[in-house]
Amino acid sequence: MTSTAKKRSLTVPGSGFSPGAKVVVEEVDDQNWKVREPFSYTGARETFSVPVGTDTDFASIPRVFVWFLPRYGRYTLAAILHDYLWRQLASTGAMEYIDADGTFRRAMRELNVPFLKRWIMWAGVRWAALVKAGGRRGWWREAWRVLLVTIIALPIVLPPAVVVAAALAVFYLLEAVLWAPLKLADTVKRALGRPTPKQVNPPTFEWRL
- Give 135-185 pLDDT, tens digit per residue: 999 999 999 999 999 999 999 999 999 999 999 999 999 999 998 888 888
Q: Sheet with 55-56: list strands edge to edge.
A: 5-9, 22-27, 33-35, 55-56
The answer to whether residue 29 scores a pLDDT higher than 80 is: yes
pLDDT bucket at 104, cuts 50 / 70 / 90: very high
The whole-number average pLDDT for the span 21-27 is 94
The whole-number average pLDDT for the span 109-120 is 96
Q: Which of 39-43, 62-66, 200-204 has the lowest mean pLDDT?
A: 200-204
- 92-96 contacts at long range (C-beta below 8 A, 24 or more positions apart): 93/134, 96/134, 96/137, 96/138
The answer to whether residue 8 scores a pLDDT higher than 70 is: no
- Give 174-198 pLDDT, tens digit per residue: 999 998 888 888 888 888 877 666 7
Q: What is the pLDDT of residue 196?
A: 67
